[in-house]
Structure 1
């Protein structure tokens, strides 16, 4: 199945460069030059990944990301020329899955997009673990990417889902931040511990009263372990 990627970028040259790389990699590409057009495209089309610039006319990327997250967990890569770490953390708190700072290598951006798409839409047969992950309170069905907590369904972003399943697949085992970065984002990821901390914080918030299942082990990492 051909996957569809929406590029939201107001600079025509950058948008065309990204489009060429993605088309050559076999993806179907849609384009938007401002935030309002991006939301319209999102409503009209079935999209598997969004590459979203922050500084946009009409509506900025943060607003677009926030509105999309109210309806969908489609993977989002945010682009920015800003280098403030607080901006990066804000993007993750709004539900972005990855963050790329300009100037960037189109090849690296393509690699990150491909990784997100493959991990998000990989088939059940390619998954090395069982279909369902169970604890006393948290149930995860991997093929449908659904999560229930005490019988109530919750909505996770792509990255939050990947972190939760990785921790649950290794229940009781301490997973370092470096292991999480390598597993979830890949070796080329340029983020730091604050990126991981932000996603863990968001995940705990959504787990609600079961947030204590994700245990912080000081100077070591995290583990999934239900508290008695």
Structure 2
């Protein structure tokens, strides 16, 4: 059974979320504060985390950052804030999606099902042979070979690293800062514009067949389209 962790300080809202999820055969646990939430994340083996941003003890954004640094699992951000800045910040820190209060419990269930299904499909595909294959684009991390419709695409080392990283986190938005730190290292010296240049070159090499693989999320960063 799919298992979801709900980190929400409002017990009434959390119980409604749990009831609707369980009616749809999705098991869930409720945690009413951030500290216990983090502990459960690391020990519970959940398929998705529903994370409220407004928590009393630890800021939800800080929890989001800690989770994403350690655990690769879909995170659905719940926020009462409607500011684009808060939404962008959450996506930059690694949230896969967001939903704003008040929301329909049925919408929550639909989003949870969608993200869990997508994540499980990707994990099954990657675990079978270590390769990522999406719409004719095949990425083999062991041989570091990329092919498109059977034709090998020549990428530089950094281009391959960027493409492989994005493709293994589909539909997740990453800022230029995040990509630079991830690919070049936090201590590296350089201009963030190098990320933009590498993304442009990757696109030139893999998007000539009218397929779009990398999308620019203006003002936020880049994401790989599943």
TM superposition score category, shorter chain reference: 0.5 to 0.7
Structure 1 residues 23 and 88, CA, compared in 2 at 3 Å: closer, same or farther? same
Instruction: Return 5+ residue gaps in structure 1 as ranges.
Output: 141-148, 164-183, 185-197
How far off is 1:4 after superposition?
1.1
* Correspondence for 1:170: none
Match of 1:66 in 2: 65
Name the CA distance, whole Å, in 1 between partners of 2:53 and 2:44. 21
Structure-2 separation of matches of 1:139 and 1:41: 38
Deviation at 1:212, TM superposition (A): 3.6
| CA apart distance, 1:88 | 0.3
Do the aligned residues in 2 keep the contact of 1:138 with 1:150 (CA within 8 Å)?
no
- Superposed structure 1 runs of 4+ greater than 6 Å apart: 135-138, 151-155
TM-score normalised by structure 1 residue count: 0.64
Determine if contact 2:8/2:33 at 8 Å carries over to the other structure. Answer: yes
Secondary structure of residue in 2 paired with 1:5: strand
> Are the aligned partners of 1:6 and 1:29 in contact in 2 as well (CA < 8 Å)?
yes
The 1:202–1:156 alpha-carbon spacing in structure 2 relative to 1, beyond 3 Å, is farther
Aligned to 1:161: 169
Q: CA RMSD in A?
A: 3.8
The equivalent position to 2:157 in structure 1, one of 147, 150, 159, is 150
Q: Deviations over 1:91-134 (max 9, x none)?
A: 00100000111000110111011000000002449x88579425
Give the whole-Å Cα distance in 2 for the aligned partners of 1:105 and 1:156: 34
Mapped contact 1:62–1:94 kept (Cα < 8 A): yes
Report the equivalent of 1:4.
Answer: 3
Change (3 A) 1:71 1:202: same
Q: Which has the larger radius of gyration?
A: 2
Query: Which residue pairs with 1:211 in the alignment?
Result: 199
